Copies of this chain bind each other. A is one copy, B any other.
Amino acid sequence: MILDSRLEGDSYYITDLALCQVRLHHNAAFPWVLLTPQRPSLCEIIDLTPEDQHTLMQEIAFVSQIMRQVFEPKKLNIAALGNIVPQLHIHIIARYETDAAWPHPVWNSGITSAYTDPEKQEKIGLLKKAFAKTL
């Protein structure tokens, strides 16, 4: 499976699950990961086989638990949009009443922030450790 270059450029590798590759989104304003099912030519969840849809839900739930455990958010925001990057990918974002976009969704919010290298390495490390403990 070839990852869309925009998805790849906008995110950092965390781990591979049975179906999805998990990557940290580069917008440091929110703890935000992307799940990309590693199947060719997918745009919609309904392009997946029913078996892969089932696995996708299991992996969304699994990654949601990790996000909840690592970042202790008020709310998780989960979405499959793909109007700009058509390759199927799922956003899982940890949201807080104190974050700059609350209570609105992060898209169109104009709220962006760049990771410093140490911050990025810290967040990647936290996530990799949480996955390693559970997988």
Residue positions of A touching B, CB distance < 8 A: 43-46, 50, 53-54, 56-58, 60-61, 64-65, 68, 74-84, 86, 95, 102-105, 107-109
Contact = CB atoms under 8 A, between A and B. Distances in A.
> Chain copies in the assembly?
2
A78 B60 CA distance: 13
7 contacts: A53-B58, A53-B61, A75-B82, A77-B79, A104-B107, A104-B108, A107-B108
Contacts of A95: 83
A75 B86 contact: yes
B107 A43 contact: no
A3 to B, nearest CB: 19
A113 B12 CA distance: 39
B78 A45 contact: yes
B78 A79 contact: yes
A61 B43 contact: no
B75 A43 contact: yes
B103 A105 contact: no
A57 B46 CA distance: 10
Contacts of A65: 46
B83 A80 contact: no
